[in-house]
Chains A and B, each alone.
Chain A
Amino acid sequence: MVFTTAVNFVRSRGPDEFWRKRKVFKLAAAYIGRSRNCYSIAIRSVHRALVYATKGRKLKKEDFSNLWDTRITAGCEQHDINYHVFKESLARNNILLNRNTLATLACWEPFTFKALTDIAHKRASEDGITPPKENKVLYIPKRGSQSKN
């Protein structure tokens, strides 16, 4: 192919239209309605899906992190200890199990988790570790409470 100008070269670059579109259609194969067969609609939903997939990988980690916390908290409540007191006591005892492991133990190894809470109880009572105070709203401005100067 002979290009007389650079503009023509730029315009004609890239794979053939069929192959270019086929990449997108392959990703959109399982979509519903026109977003599966109609390129201009398919490309939109494919792009959106890819962005979601990228963001989702990060969200998945956050979700699991929250799930571990929930599981440890549930296990702690079973043994009458506050989550923060539990974590602090373990840290002071130099028991460096991470939250993932603690959650696993809380789920699948109840006796081991009981042993850990026992240790935490002991340490907390020795050191006087108290649960952190809940956030309290100290001042709520009411209508007319602020004086005009």
Chain B
Amino acid sequence: MAGVVRRIFANLPRINTCNYVKTPLLSILPSVTSKFYSNVPTPYEIVDAQEDRKTYQGVIDNVNRQVAEKKQGRLFAVVHVAGKQVKITEGDVFIVEGYWPPDAGDKISLDKVLLVGASDFTLIGRPLVQRGLVRVEATVIEKNVSHTKTHFRKKRRKQYMRINFYRTPRTMVRVNRIEIVGEVNHPPAVTGLETRIF
């Protein structure tokens, strides 16, 4: 069954930018044939890094060039805020519902970026895009509460009736800027580890 499906998928148009290994066991280590241990590389293990790099480097170079020349245009991003994902672009106002500590006037940077898109490319995070690559700046413009919602329950012929009113806090956030500051696939080196004990 799996084989059939694989063949079906193989016929479909899709990107072919993978250098994953499908070499059989015997071709790698002919001397070792263990019944219990598999020497086959795990799926998605990159065996030839050079070859792998060749396949995607062109795309990444193009993206980096476009960003360097500032030709990427207006960006949109999917950010994770207060437990929800929001698709935002520059100048947007979005509402965070429920208790959320930032106060009005606070300038915040939204760091959990799941996806960034431009007209020519999309950077998809797994689950987040590389830290420090994208800067999303926002300002909290207003904090207030929603309209009054009535929670009313009633059972017929059972003398049961309850009424409650509630309002949920709401925070309005203006997105000031979304920009790519780093280089794709070139994360900054980790520094400051010399002084750390753990």
* Partner-B contacts on A (CB < 8 A): 47, 50-51, 53-54, 57, 80, 93-98, 100-101, 104-105, 108-109, 111-112, 115-116, 118-119, 121-122, 124-130
Contacts and interface: CB of A to CB of B under 8 A. Distances in A.
Identify whether the interface residues of A are mostly helix, strand, loop, or mixed: helix
Given A95-B125, A130-B2, A51 B87 contact: no
Given A105-B78, A115-B124, A130-B2, 14 more contacts: A47-B154, A50-B152, A50-B154, A51-B152, A51-B153, A93-B126, A104-B87, A108-B87, A119-B124, A121-B14, A124-B9, A125-B6, A125-B10, A126-B43
B35 interface: no
A124 B14 CA distance: 12
A118 B15 contact: yes
Nearest to B43: A126
Interface of B: 1-3, 5-6, 9-10, 12, 14-15, 18, 20, 43-44, 76, 78, 84-85, 87, 114-115, 117, 122, 124-127, 149-154, 161, 163
B152 A54 contact: yes
Identify whether the interface residues of B are mostly helix, strand, loop, or mixed: strand
Given A101-B87, A125-B10, A112 B126 contact: no
A112 B15 CA distance: 14
Contacts, number: 85
Contacts of A95: 124-127
Contacts of B85: 97-98, 100-101
A47 B124 contact: no
Contact of A128 (B6, B114, B150): B6
Contact of B5 (A105, A109, A128): A128
Nearest to B87: A104
Contacts of A122: 14-15, 18
Indicate the member of A53, A80, A97 with the most B CB atoms within 10 Å.
A97
B20 A126 contact: yes
A43 B117 CA distance: 53
Nearest to B116: A112
A104 B161 CA distance: 40
Contacts of A80: 12
A96 B124 CA distance: 10
B127 A94 contact: yes
Contacts of B44: 126
Contacts of A54: 150-153
